């Protein structure tokens, strides 16, 4: 049941008798934050806009609407405040009825699906054969939550892991394997050895490109220093003369200053890359023996793509190992895909895709390459390079064609890093120009995971952090916090070693997912494990703990009832008599609203926000509304229902984010 929609529908009945276009007006009705304004409020603008339409005073209109609404038993009271706000309070009887229905339903308060669309969610999609790092967690966790929420709302959802299994990184490991393989290490752990080769090749390429670019980076830095001095001079003259240019110059100075800082950091990074190789004679020898390694790697990739038997054989040998490695992470995260059609799957479709675009005149040859010139963009989208190689964009075009043919989706969501927004803007534009209009395409972009220093999350040595050790660390820290002996003792909780490990794993993995989801996807966020596993604040542990608390109360209540004389008559009347009873019941009924709201902009953070509000409300209720020691049987039954529904909603909400719960923690 969509609570807000239900309220709006009731108001609509009244508005329809006044005007023909009420749907816009209804958007001005929202839930209130402060109970003194009722449960829902029509903003002043409703009465003002309608008043203008009808040529009447807003207050007078608001009073007329309120009077009609009062006749509807759905509302307990309707008040007009100020110059025409309409404050509405729902009838308790209706809340009780809905809550009882929720108890009986296994979908809680969520109504049966209405319009069913077909979605394809393209997410996770790491480039395999190189270590999966913390950045990949965002696409995986956000995509997974979106899939689950959309499914819960009744849509047909196809999840597809568009693996990068055909790109340059294979050129790197093929080159690495041919030149630097340690056979014993490969036999013992192929993925670890391939990762080592990948990193080695990457390091040498990084070194060689740093060597060629450091001089120009220094020159640019020099130019900036010069400009800094000049601007400082100009500024001091301007400020002594009270010149209006002063502000502009100060702004320029700031931006030059920032430029210098960035340049210094860039140079430092290059120096680190250079030193790391030059300090190691072995690495230096490799770097000089394998000059211009980048083009050697590109030619291995090109050979693979053109069907070279040896490179294909190696690719076939490596791929299963690479897939097994990422599968291990997916298993730990509990993430599944309907399809894993990686880039290699589309390889044979690339040439026909380009040919058909050429034939249809959408693409043209330009300086030996094939391009699509895009309206509104300066640079064209290249879909075949001069040397005949296809690009990331070409694969994406072929992929859409295949998806349209195979699944006829209404919507395709691409859950990919914000750094690719340029690609997606061009790619979507290109698809429009090919005449594809029946599908809605959305780039579900997300921000960067940052370290404490505010830069992309890295270890001290500067390399990116692998995912697996991070998961282990989260579990270890969760164990420390949640299974702290004195905490367990205070809570009189006796857990076996196995139970402790299970709780730590549920809390630790949940912490990482929740921290990611609870930041709006467009924002960067700081990866702070200590904060993530806390039992207080907007964390997974807090929600999971609140759930465990509900289960604890229900267990005690069941024991109490069992111990009581079962022949004594009990009335099962439900009545919410404390303001917090009522507030909690209404928050529970808002669950479906939060799911729909979160899918307006595909932001799972709307759901974490909802769960956090529910958990906080439950904590206040827990403090102020005794359940075991309730004053009357009606009160106890009513509160038992609320505790039960709170637990069920928290659990189902977390489940939509693919976060587990435990009954005792
Ligand atoms: N493999 C790409 C990367 O790691 C992401 C692919 C996203 N999906 C797509 N259809 N382009 O950057």
For atom 11 of ligand 1, the residue with the nearest CA is 396
Q: Quote the pLDDT of residue 121.
A: 98
Q: Which residue's CA lies nearest to atom 5 of ligand 1?
A: 125
Distance CA 211, CA 278 (A): 11
Cβ-defined contacts of 195-201 (< 8 Å, 24+): 195/130, 195/131, 197/172, 197/173, 198/129, 198/130, 198/131, 198/169, 198/172, 198/173, 199/463, 200/176, 200/286, 201/172, 201/173, 201/175, 201/176, 201/293, 201/297
**Of 413, 418, 404, nearest to 440 (Cα)?**
413
- Ligand 1 atom showing the smallest separation from residue 163 Cα: 1
Q: What is the number of H-type helices and E-type strands within the chain?
A: 25, 13
User: Cα torsion for 312, 318, 391, 127, to the nearest 10°?
Assistant: 170
Confidence (pLDDT) at 21: 78
Report, as ranges of residue numbers, the positions in the chain whose pLDDT lies below 50. 460-461
Q: Is the shortest distance between the CB of 416 and ligand 1 below 6 Å?
A: yes
Distance from the first to the final alpha carbon of the chain = 32
The verdict on the CB of residue 335 being under 6 Å from ligand 1 is no
Phi-psi region of 485 (alpha: psi -120 to 50; beta: other; left: phi over 0): alpha
Q: Cα separation of 369 and 409, whole Å?
A: 31
Say if ligand 1 is within 6 A of residue 518 CB: no
CA distance 549 to 558: 14
d(C-alpha 392, C-alpha 383), whole Å: 8
Q: How many CB atoms lie within 10 A of CB 242?
A: 7
Q: Which residue in 94, 129, 563 sits closest to 342, CA to CA?
A: 129
Give the pLDDT confidence of 264-314 residue by residue, as tens digits.
999 999 999 999 999 999 999 999 999 999 999 999 999 999 899 999 999
Pocket test residue of 125, 165, 340, 422 for ligand 1, highest count of atoms within 8 A of CB: 125
Pocket test for ligand 1, best of 163, 409, 416 (most atoms within 8 A of CB): 416
pLDDT at 109: 79
The Cα–Cα gap between 99 and 588 comes to 8
pLDDT of res. 106: 83
| CB distance 412 to ligand 1 below 6 Å | no
Q: Is the CB of 195 under 6 A from ligand 1?
A: no
- CA-wise closest residue to 516 among 93, 144, 105: 144
- Residues 605/520, Cβ–Cβ less than 8 Å: yes
Q: How many residues does the chain have?
A: 665
**The pLDDT value given to residue 459:** 55
Q: pTM value? A: 0.91
Contacts 24+ apart (CB under 8 A), 184-191: 190/318, 190/321, 191/321, 191/322, 191/324, 191/325
Q: Is 129 in the pocket of ligand 1 (CB under 6 A)?
A: no
Cβ of 343 closer than 6 Å to ligand 1, yes or no, is no
Under DSSP, the state recorded for 165 is -
CA of 127 to the centre of ligand 1 (A): 8
pLDDT of residue 465: 66
Ligand 1 atom at shortest distance from the alpha carbon of 162: 8
Q: Which residue has the tokens 């921000």?
A: 447
Ligand 1: which of 129, 133, 161, 164 to mutate, most ligand atoms within 8 Å of CB? 164
Instruction: Tell me the CA–centroid distance for residue 458 and ligand 1, in Å.
Output: 21
Q: pLDDT tens digits, residue range 233-263?
A: 999 888 888 778 888 999 999 999 999 999 9
CA-wise closest residue to 305 among 413, 206, 389? 389
CA distance 555 to 546: 14
Range 518-543 burial, b when 16+ CB lie within 10 A, else e: bbbbeeebebebeebbbbeebbbbbb
Give the pair of three-digit tokens for residue 150. Answer: 């959309």
- What pLDDT sits at residue 577? 85
Q: Which H, E and C letters describe 257-295, residue by residue?
A: HHHHHHHHHHHHHHHHHHHHHHCCHHHHHHHHHCCCHHH
Q: Is 162 in the pocket of ligand 1 (CB under 6 A)?
A: yes
User: Which atom of ligand 1 is the closest one to the Cα of 417?
Assistant: 12
Pairing, β 381-384 against β 369-372: antiparallel
CB of 136 sitting under 6 A from ligand 1: no
HEC letters along 468-504: HHHHHHHHHHHHHHHCCHHHHHHCCCCCCHHHHHHHH
Report the nearest-CA residue for atom 6 of ligand 1.
Answer: 125
**Distance (Å, whole) CA 365 – CA 78:** 68
> Best mutation site among 162, 170, 350 for ligand 1, i.e. most ligand atoms within 8 A of its Cβ?
162
Cβ contacts of 553 within 8 Å, gap of 6 or more: 627, 628, 643
Burial group, residue 65, by CB count within 10 angstroms (0-12, 13-18, 19+): buried
Nearest ligand 1 atom to the CA of 164 is 1
Distance (Å, rounded) from C-alpha 636 to C-alpha 638?
A: 5
Give every CB contact of residue 224 below 8 A, 6+ residues apart in sequence. 256, 259, 260, 263
């Amino acid at each position: 049941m969509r609570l807000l929609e239900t309220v709006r529908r009731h108001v609509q009945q009244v508005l329809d008798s006044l005007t023909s276009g009420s749907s816009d007006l209804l958007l001005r009705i929202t839930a209130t934050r402060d109970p003194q304004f009722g449960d829902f409020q029509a903003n002043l603008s409703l009465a003002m806009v309608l008043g203008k339409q009808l040529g009447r005073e807003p207050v007078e209109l608001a009073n007329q609407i309120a009077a009609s609404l009062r006749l509807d038993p759905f509302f307990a009271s309707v008040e007009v405040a100020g110059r025409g706000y309409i404050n509405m309070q729902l009838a308790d009887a209706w809340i009780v009825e809905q809550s009882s229905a929720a108890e009986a339903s296994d979908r809680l308060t969520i109504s049966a699906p209405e319009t069913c669309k077909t979605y394809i969610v393209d997410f996770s999609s790491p480039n395999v054969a190189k270590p999966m790092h913390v950045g990949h967690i965002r696409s995986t966790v956000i995509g997974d939550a979106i899939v689950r929420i959309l499914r819960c709302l009744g849509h047909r959802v196809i999840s597809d892991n568009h693996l990068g299994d055909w790109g340059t990184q294979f050129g790197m490991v093929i080159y690495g394997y041919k030149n630097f393989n340690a056979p014993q290490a490969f036999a013992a752990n192929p993925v670890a050895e391939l990762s080592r080769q990948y990193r080695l090749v990457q390091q040498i390429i990084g070194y060689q490109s740093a060597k060629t670019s450091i001089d120009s980076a220094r020159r640019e830095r020099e130019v900036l220093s010069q400009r800094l001095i000049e601007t400082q001079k100009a500024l001091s003259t301007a400020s002594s003369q009270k010149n209006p240019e002063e502000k502009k110059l100060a702004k320029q100075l700031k931006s030059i200053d920032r430029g210098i800082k960035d340049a210094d950091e860039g140079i430092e990074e290059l120096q680190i890359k250079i030193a790391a190789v030059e300090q190691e004679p072995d690495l230096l020898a490799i770097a000089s023996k394998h000059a211009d390694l980048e083009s050697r790697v590109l030619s291995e990739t090109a050979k693979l793509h053109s069907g070279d038997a040896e490179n294909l054989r190696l690719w076939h040998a490596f791929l299963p190992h690479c897939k097994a490695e990422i599968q291990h992470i997916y298993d730990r995260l509990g993430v599944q895909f309907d399809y894993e059609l990686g880039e290699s799957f589309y390889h044979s479709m690339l040439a026909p895709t380009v040919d058909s675009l050429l034939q249809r005149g959408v693409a043209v040859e330009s300086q030996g390459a094939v391009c699509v010139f895009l309206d509104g963009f300066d640079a064209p989208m290249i879909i075949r390079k001069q040397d005949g190689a296809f690009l990331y964009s070409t694969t994406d075009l072929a992929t859409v064609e295949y998806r349209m043919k195979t699944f006829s989706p209404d919507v395709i969501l691409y859950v990919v890093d914000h750094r690719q927004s340029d690609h997606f803007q061009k790619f979507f534009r290109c698809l429009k120009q090919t005449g594809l209009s029946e599908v809605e395409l959305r780039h579900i972009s997300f921000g960067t995971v940052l370290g404490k220093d505010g830069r992309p999350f890295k270890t001290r040595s500067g390399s990116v952090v692998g995912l697996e050790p991070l998961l282990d660390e989260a579990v270890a820290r969760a164990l420390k916090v949640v299974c702290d002996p004195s905490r367990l003792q205070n809570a009189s909780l006796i857990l076996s070693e196995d139970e402790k490990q299970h709780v730590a794993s549920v809390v630790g993995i949940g912490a990482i997912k929740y921290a990611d989801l609870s930041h709006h996807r467009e924002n960067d966020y700081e990866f702070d494990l200590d904060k993530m596993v806390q039992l207080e604040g907007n964390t997974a542990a807090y929600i999971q703990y609140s759930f465990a608390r509900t289960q604890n109360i229900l267990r005690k209540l069941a024991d109490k009832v069992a111990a009581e004389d079962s022949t004594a008559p009990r009335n099962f009347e439900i009545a919410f008599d404390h303001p917090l009873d009522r507030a909690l019941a209404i928050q529970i009924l808002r669950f479906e609203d939060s799911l729909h709201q979160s899918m307006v902009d595909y932001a799972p953070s709307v759901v974490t926000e909802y769960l956090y509000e529910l958990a906080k409300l439950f904590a206040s209720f827990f403090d102020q509304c005794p359940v075991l020691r309730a004053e009357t049987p009606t009160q106890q039954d009513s509160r038992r229902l609320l505790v039960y529904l709170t637990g069920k909603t928290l659990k189902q909400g977390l489940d939509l984010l693919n976060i587990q719960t435990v009954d005792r923690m």
